[in-house]
Amino acid sequence: MPEIATPDFAADEARFREEGRKLFAGECTFILGAAALVQVPDSDLPEIAFAGRSNVGKSSLVNGLTGRKNVARTSVTPGRTQQLNFFSIGDRLLLADLPGYGYARAPKSEVDAWTRLVKTYLMGRPQLRRVCMLVDSRHGLKTNDREVMKDLDEAAVNYQIVMTKSDKVKPGALERTVAAVKAEAATHAAAFPEIAVTSSHTGTGLAELRASLSQLALPVANR
Ligand code: GDP
């Protein structure tokens, strides 16, 4: 009988981590901030978008992934960055940092503008490979997260839920929140079953996220 090779998951994981480390340690360039859809860069690179409520820790996560302090500006006033900010990672991957949603004091006109801009972007970006939906570990899923998840399901855009600020929650509470989020994600067609748990302050989960995202980048040989 022919021998069946068993996959070496540990070796794959180590290789993906190394690929992720290398990719995000390399060149990272701010491309542009788009306040309107016509300004979104014309690019053939695979793209990953970061979405989440304002103050969820999005800029900190983008900075944490790239190991730089100021790639994405961390917000002083939440909900005030109404731009989609694009970064090129090693000329193999684009990151799109979407404006945060759900800022309680934002005027309705601003919320409507966000909805129009982000929805149109999410629905009509063929190179968009994945959305990282950031969720604060202290709060779990909120109404506006669920609305975005529904939109992503309808547009068939794959998304992965990434818990942020995990250092702010005690392990037991974190486990319960992650389990609840995971159970809810399982009811959404386009959501990844696995939840990433991260902290930009301690670095928890960043190597794993880099590894996973690097698998979506263009291969080195293509550039
Ligand atoms: P954004 O509005 O989603 O871009 O959020 P920021 O990245 O600007 O972060 C909002 C606030 O949360 C800032 O005060 C950050 O220092 C804080 N923050 C972000 N990530 C973490 C984290 O992993 N742990 C902790 N403890 N605080 C964080």
- Name the residue range of residue 43's domain: 9-222
**Any idea of the CA torsion for 57, 59, 60, 64, to the nearest 10 degrees?**
130
- Give the rounded distance of the alpha carbon of 110 from its chain centre: 22
Residue nearest to atom 12 of ligand 1 (CA): 57
* Phi, psi (degrees; rounded to nearest 5) at 47: -125, 145
106 part of a folded domain: yes
- pLDDT at res. 53: 92
- pLDDT at res. 72: 65
Q: Minimal CA–CA distance to 47: which of 151, 126, 133? A: 126
* Beta-bridge partners for 162: 134, 196
Query: Is residue 200's pLDDT more than 70?
Result: yes
1 part of a folded domain: no
The per-residue pLDDT for range 136-154, each reduced to its tens digit, is 999 999 998 999 999 899 9
- pLDDT at res. 8: 77
User: From ligand 1's centre to the CA of 84, what distance in Å?
Assistant: 18
- pLDDT at res. 2: 65
- pLDDT at res. 223: 52
75 part of a folded domain: yes
**Any idea of the CA torsion for 8, 9, 11, 15, to the nearest 10 degrees?**
140
DSSP 223: -
Q: Does the pTM exceed 0.75?
A: yes
Query: Is residue 1's pLDDT more than 90?
Result: no
Does the beta carbon of 167 sit less than 6 angstroms from any atom of ligand 1?
A: yes
CATH classification at residue 102: 3.40.50.300
29 part of a folded domain: yes
User: From ligand 1's centre to the CA of 199, what distance in Å?
Assistant: 9
The per-residue pLDDT for range 7-48, each reduced to its tens digit, is 777 888 899 999 999 999 998 988 888 888 888 889 989 999
Probe target for ligand 1 pocket from 50, 55, 60, 105, with the most ligand atoms within 8 Å of CB:
60
Query: Is residue 58's pLDDT more than 70?
Result: yes
Query: H-type helices in the chain, by residue range?
Result: 9-25, 58-66, 108-123, 143-155, 171-185, 206-214
Instruction: Assign 9 to helix, strand or coil.
Output: helix
Give how many domains the chain has, as a whole number.
1
164 part of a folded domain: yes
Instruction: Assign 186 to helix, strand or coil.
Output: coil
Does the beta carbon of 85 sit less than 6 angstroms from any atom of ligand 1?
A: no
The per-residue pLDDT for range 78-131, each reduced to its tens digit, is 444 578 889 999 999 999 999 888 777 778 887 787 788 888 898 889 999 999
More confident residue, 219 or 167: 167
